[in-house]
Amino acid sequence: MNKTWILISDAHRARCFERDQASQSLTELADFVYPQKTVAQVASGGDLTGAAGKGHGRTGHAGTQFEPQTDEQTKARGSFAHQLAHYLNQAVAAHECPAIVLIASSPMLGELRPALSFASEKVLKRCIASDLTHFSGPELKERVTRALQLSD
């Protein structure tokens, strides 16, 4: 295994890199930015999920079923995590991704891991709780290398 995909993420931005084991170089494969609503949209009661009618029972009778109360940030983070997991799952299924390392904020790791497919879980080598989304260039390469060494 000479290539590893590294997903660096927080709740608002994610970047996926391919890391060559020999040179430890990082090649950016994808950049994701989760679209944020404006404060005015949130104040007006806009829904990030677009799921209207969630208070109605699934059985078709007059009763109701309510899902647990979840704040908008948690919903948004979950939606973004599913988008990222879908990207990784497709790459693993297409045999483009031989190994995965997740470096993400703790809340994001908690959303990402369960969204990975069985095949993606099998190639998942490490999960590291750290937010490196604000770094780039040589500093990012150095911090990734340090994070991987510290997790050994």
Which candidate, 84, 79, 77, places its Cα nearest to that of 15? 84
pTM of the model as a whole: 0.76
**What per-residue confidence (pLDDT) applies to 47?**
47
Q: Does a structural domain hold residue 59?
A: no
Averaged confidence pLDDT in the chain = 82
Count of structural domains, the chain: 1
Instruction: Tell me, yes or no, whether 87 lies in a domain.
Output: yes
Closest CA to 34 of 86, 91, 89, 76: 76
* Cα distance between residue 82 and residue 120, in whole Å: 13
Backbone phi, psi, residue 100, to 5°: -125, 140
Contact indicator for 108, 77 with CB cutoff of 8 Å: yes
pLDDT for residue 38: 39
Q: Kindly report, residue by residue over 120-144, the tens digit of the pLDDT.
A: 999 999 999 999 999 999 999 999 9
In a domain, 90, yes or no: yes
Residue 11: domain span: 3-43+72-150
**Is 30 a member of any domain?**
yes
Inside any domain, residue 66: no
User: pLDDT value at position 54?
Assistant: 43
Residue 53 lies in a domain: no
Where is pLDDT greater, at 59 or 64?
Answer: 64
Q: How confident is the model at residue 152 (pLDDT cuts 50, 70, 90)?
A: low
pLDDT digits (tens, 9 = 90+) for 66-104: 566 667 878 888 899 999 999 999 999 999 999 999 999
Residue 80 inside a domain? The answer is yes
Residue 108 sits in a domain whose CATH number is 3.30.420.60
Contacting residues for 98 by C-beta, under 8 A, at least 6 apart: 1, 3, 4, 123
> Six-digit token pair at 55?
């208070």
Determine, yes or no, domain membership for 49: no
